[in-house]
Structure 1
Amino acid sequence: MTFPLKNVVIVGAAGNLGSHVLKAFLSSNAFNITVLSRDSSTSTFPDGLKVIKSDYSHDSLVSAFKGQDAVISIVGNGGFSNQQKLIDAALAAGVKRFIPSEFGNNTADERVRALAPLLDGKKAIVDYLKEKQDRLSWTALITGPFFDWGLQTGFLGFNLQSHEATIYDAGTIPASVSTLAQIGRALVAVLQNPEATGNQYVYVESFTVTQKQILGALEKATGKGWKVTDVDFEPLIQESTERFKGGDFSAVTGWAVWKLGAGVGRVVE
């Protein structure tokens, strides 16, 4: 495999995480960046940035990936099934490194996947990459949950508008988290160190924190006490498991962050 990696195409650069990844790569001035965008997309990007439109057919993707050293996939839940198509096109185009859309809890750990079955699809993509790694190297970046996004959206259990918090098992479980900007910088570092990061999971975090610590910081910042709802994990897990089996894929959401944090979801143990 020839290094270094200079020409990089980002798939999903307009999303919550993708926009921060794009910013990190452009700020590094170390790569030639291309963005892959669907034909139907109305997303806009900085002036001067190379943007290739694709209908996601095999030939279209191969054409887009020609001359690229690395492909970074930052597709959301709805795009996971397309990643094998991206990998096949990358192989055909002679790409050297593929980074799948991981960026979360440790999908390599079967305990994590048992609690959050939606992650099985991510693991399947890494398994597919392992089958091809003699021709296409890969890196799976595990970051823990997105802290700033999770705090703003309520995913971590805190409602910033109503000053209410849902606290799981006393809020003392530590979890590794990463900011969106940190994930972007980590991806830059991965591609700047290709030989050290090839064909493996790479684990990063911004910091380790508990819900209790977050609540304390929020109460200090807002100058008022928050309304707290305490929730026990075990009944919640049973209920969510049944809902998931019944087809409700929203059943496993933010609470899983903290359950996984009990020695399972932490990326630094």
Structure 2
Amino acid sequence: MSSYIRNVALIGGTGSLGSHILKHLLATGKHNVTVLTRTQSKATFPTNPNLKIAKVDYSSEQSIVEALRGNDFLAITLNSQAPRTLHSEIINAAKKAGVPTVLPNYFGFGIRERAGNLASCPIMGSFSKILKEVEDVEGVDYIALVCGFWYEFSLSLGEQWYGFDLKKRTVTFYDDGTRKINTSTWDQCGRAVAALLSLPLTKEGGNAAIQDYLNNGLYIASFLVSQRDMLDSLNRVLGTTDADWKISYEPVEERHRKGLEELGSGNGLGFVKAMYARGFFASGEGDYQTGHVLDNEKLGLPKEDLDEATRRAVAMSQKSFEYEV
């Protein structure tokens, strides 16, 4: 019988994505989970016999190495404000600690040939550097979680993301608003990672195994939807009609160009505007499902309800939600 991953380290266990990975990992009851957290952190964690908290000084490689030692897998979900060098430092520490496989801090639309033209994009192409940081370290494999943009987060935060301002009831459709992209909920991402790490390391018959995904992508999604689909869902959830919304239109390539210009002038939201617009380009990289097979079924992931996810997005928009990965 093939062996399984038992000991998992997680960086970012209190963040928006990391907390969902932690929740679903612990729910399996199959893993011993070590969450690395800053020495000065006041974060609280659930009480669970399979959970260990390791206080780490991220400025000390030895501190990271000691926390990672004895683990079979490392999942990295760094805060967007983390130092740019930290990811590569963690990968090097993982090698020294003997951790064979990592889930890098990469959550995009595809890798290699399935990334399409994204590699030439000034913003989206930069994410490939994250994978290269792992590829350049001999003896460490990776599995990249390909999940698209996060649905509730992207719908709730503001116009620069999916084009919606839920409080003002406005939406900017990119082109005509009907181009579909893949998008995932945080819960689905958490379930996917937990299901992945519950697979055998090597093949047992015809079933999926960890080896199927090494140095490649794990492709999952909650929905394949357009902005028009999102507005229809919002109308069902809120009891509104299109007449209650101010709807405008903008060529998506023009929006992408404006975002890059805003970023160049020092406006950080320009990064968001350009990145999200690029996902809706007619070249189709945002739809990584059509023409391919998602890994949802192999992982046993449930089919989700779009309106329920939209309802969560509306609730998030109504409170002071601060994004932390």
Q: Fold match, TM over 0.5? A: yes
Q: Which residue of 250, 254, 257 maps to 1:235?
A: 254
RMSD: 2.1
Task: Tell me what 2:47 maps to.
Answer: 47
- The one-letter amino acid of 1:86's match is I
Q: Cα offset for 1:232? A: 1.9
How far does residue 150 in structure 1 lie from its aligned partner after superposition?
Answer: 1.4
Aligned equivalents of 2:53 and 2:236: distance in 1?
A: 44
For 1:211, which of 219, 227, 231 is the aligned residue? 227
Q: Distance in 1 between matches of 2:194 and 2:147?
A: 14
**Structure 2 runs not aligned, ≥5 long:** 200-208, 291-325
The alignment partner of 1:103 has SS state of coil
Residue 264 of structure 1: aligned partner: 285
Partners of 1:3 and 1:213 lie apart in 2 by 43
Q: Report SS of the residue matched to 2:81.
A: helix
**1:24 match:** 24
| Match in the other structure for 1:99 | 103
Q: 1:265 to 1:256 in 2, by over 3 A?
A: same
Please tell me whether the aligned partners of residues 12 and 78 of structure 2 are also in contact (alpha carbons under 8 angstroms).
yes
Please state how far the C-alpha of 1:143 moved relative to its aligned partner. 0.4
Distance 1:103 1:43, change over 3 A: same
Are positions 1:70 and 2:73 aligned together?
Answer: yes
Q: Does the 8 Å contact 1:146/1:179 carry over to 2?
A: yes
**TM alignment of 1:1-269, pairs within 5 A:** 3-48=3-48, 49-56=51-58, 57-79=60-82, 80-106=84-110, 108=112, 109=115, 111-115=117-121, 117=123, 119-120=125-126, 122-133=127-138, 135-154=139-158, 155-191=161-197, 192=199, 193-225=209-241, 226-254=245-273, 256-261=275-280, 262=282, 263-269=284-290
Letter of the 2:231 counterpart: L
Q: Deviations over 1:98-127 (max 9, x none)?
A: 11011233364363244452651x312211
Q: Deviations over 1:23-57 (max 9, x none)?
A: 11011111111100011212111124311010111
**In 2, Cα distance between the equivalents of 1:203 and 1:251?**
27
- 8 Å CA contact 2:172, 2:247 repeated in 1: yes
Distance 1:149 1:22, change over 3 A: same
Equivalent position amino acid for 2:257 in 1: Q
Kindly state the Cα deviation for residue 63 of structure 1 after the two structures are TM-superposed.
0.3
Q: Which ranges in structure 1 are unaligned for 5 or more consecutive residues?
A: none
- Give the match's secondary structure for 2:172: strand
- Whether contact under 8 Å (1:175, 1:257) holds in the other structure is no
1:16 alignment partner, SS class: coil
Offset at residue 240 of structure 1 (A): 2.1
User: Normalising to structure 1: TM-score of the pair?
Assistant: 0.90
SS of aligned partner of 1:253: helix
Cα distance, 1:241 vs structure 2 = 2.4
Native 8 Å contact 1:143 1:267 kept in 2: no
Which deviates more, 188-197 or 57-66? 188-197
Number of residue pairs matched by the alignment: 266
**Change beyond 3 A, Cα 1:114–1:24:** same
Partners of 2:172 and 2:122 in 1: how far apart?
A: 19
Tell me how far 1:201 sits from its aligned partner: 1.8
Q: CA deviation at 1:258?
A: 4.8
Give TM-score, length-normalised by structure 2.
0.76
- Give how far 1:3 is off: 4.3
Q: Which runs of 4+ in 1 moved over 4 A?
A: none
Give the percent of matched residue pairs that are identical in Structure 1 and Structure 2: 30
Separation (CA, whole Å) in 1 of partners of 2:157 and 2:256 = 22
Distance across 1 between alignment mates of 2:143 and 2:253: 34
Query: Could you say what secondary structure the match of 1:138 adopts?
Result: strand
